[in-house]
Amino acid sequence: MSNPDVEAAGPARAATTGIKPPPGRYYAGGDGQHAPAAPFYYGQEAERERQHHTWLVPVVVLANVAMFIVVMYYNDCPRNGRGADCLGGGFLRRFSFQPLKENPLFGPSSATLGKYGGLDRYKVVHGDQAWRLETATWLHAGLIHLGANMISLIFVGVRLEQQFGFWKVGLVYLFSGLGGSVLSVLFIRNGVSVGASGALFGLLGAMLSELITNWTIYTNRLAAMANLIIIAAINLALGILPHVDNFAHIGGFLTGFLLGFVLLIQPRFGWLEQPFGGKTKSKYTACQIVLLIVALLLAIAGFAVGLLMVFRGVNGNDHCSWCHYLTCVPTSHWKCDN
């Protein structure tokens, strides 16, 4: 995935999208320049064309890789009784992978993931381990899972961080991962869920809301929006496969979508900061302000209600008899064991 590629194009920027699909979250076991018009022309044009240094995304990627190495170290497949069944045990030794029939993604066992921070509903609700709602987003089920997620993060995260800075993108990433975990705990009853894709879907949702709230500063916005919606729909549709935690994807996407209206708002085109007390055109449109307020209220209410339901042990499936189809649709080729 990558963020819409936006460049200055006269009075508005061209919005194009070249987005690679984000991989799933799995659960186991069960610069163009625009010159100022006058010496004292400040504000939106300079702000829009400024690019931030990118350091957060590389740090997040390194942190995820480091966590995978640590988990594999403690997994120690040969020592845990699998012996010759461990994949790559001859040269990887304690870093060897679980047998493919147990974990086809080249990774540790579900027990190890659960022990070192994977999202386990029982431990969150009854074990006072709420920290798992966030730590699960830093773990991955296997080498394939890790690689696909980190490549997607680089494609979308670098572009967003260059445009909006590390703290805005960081907040969207962290809270989207948390929102995905909350929805997952409400509906996924069995197994251990891990992966950063809830946070990645949050960045995708934020890209969509950013395009909506900053609609007037883009040119080919309809094509960009159609591209984003199609990519999001395709990837959410892939979440109906077995052992893919689509609730984490949906929760992350909705969280990021709301936060995009709040954190990724940009000044309208033509906004001026006049010196010496001159009259200033409004920095944001009334529509942008309304969207910001509504999205912020919905995000706060959503987290409050969701967390309250989680810690009360509410089973979301009791209130939505068809929602389990959002994460797995049984067919003649597979069964849904959730």
What three-state secondary structure class fits 312? coil
CB-side neighbour CA atoms (13 Å) of 250: 21
**The tokens 């994977």 sit on which residue?**
118
- With vertex at residue 70, the alpha carbon angle to CA 67 and CA 74, rounded to the nearest 5 degrees, is 140
Alpha carbon distance 26, 100 (integer Å): 15
Cα 329 → chain centroid? 23
Residue type, 142: G
Which is the catalytic residue, given 110, 152, 197, 209? 197
H or E element at residue 26: strand 26-28
Q: Does the annotation mark 197 as catalytic?
A: yes
The angle that helices 166-187 and 56-75 make with each other, rounded to 10 degrees, is 40
Dihedral over Cα of 83, 84, 86, 89: its sign: positive
| Paired residues of 192 in beta bridges | 28
**The tokens 């320049």 sit on which residue?**
33
21 and 1 in contact (C-beta within 8 Å)? yes
Please state the three-class secondary structure of 72-113 as a single string.
HHHHCCHHHCCHHHCECHHHHHHHCECCCCCCCCCCCCHHHH
Q: Does the annotation mark 249 as catalytic?
A: yes
Residue positions annotated with a catalytic role: 197, 249
